[in-house]
Amino acid sequence: MYHDTLIRVQNGFMRGKLRVKVPYSRLDFEILELLASIGYLESVQRKGRGVKRIIDVKLKYDKDKNPAISKIKFISRPSRPMYVGYSKIKPSHQGYGHFIISTPQGIMEGREAKKKTTGGQLLFEVW
């Protein structure tokens, strides 16, 4: 589940680690690639074969060694999924944060989903 992956990334930032390794799943890999393309992570690589596949995440810090991700707020939970239409997608933290949405066209950022006029499951908010 993506919750565990994001908690591992957040813990890596809190401990000042340069890299974090997480078990591979396609959903986790897509979410981490999206975070890397937005600019929250340095790089994401898939490594290994079969059951030993992992995702190697290189964490990103600024010049003062502050982490790129300040906070991750989970919105949908396994017991309570939250869905949103494209017209209800609002900016996160006055435009400084990002909503991550699972749509029928894949995992995408809130602004991109609104631009493509598609809604979906609101997974989490990151800033």
What pLDDT, in 10s, does the model give residues 9-63?
A: 999 999 999 999 999 999 999 999 999 999 999 999 999 998 899 999 999 999 9
Instruction: Please name the residue ranges forming H helices in 39-86.
Output: none
pLDDT score recorded for residue 101: 97
> What average pLDDT is seen over the chain?
95
pLDDT band at 1 (very low <50, low <70, confident <90, very high): confident
pLDDT of residue 28: 97
Query: What pLDDT does 5 receive?
Result: 97
CA distances from 4 to 25, 53, 95, 96 (A): 11, 16, 26, 24
**For residues 29 and 16, what is the distance between their CA atoms, to the nearest angstrom?**
22
- 124 pLDDT above the threshold of 90: yes
Work out the pLDDT band at 95, boundaries 50, 70, 90.
Answer: confident
105 Cβ contact list (under 8 Å, min separation 6): 116, 118
Tell me the backbone φ, ψ of residue 8, rounded to 5 degrees: -65, -40
Helix (H, G, I), strand (E, B) or coil at 106: strand
d(CA 120, CA 108): 10
Question: Starting at the edge strand that comes first in sequence, how are the strands of the sheet with 19-23 ordered?
Answer: 19-23, 54-59, 41-47
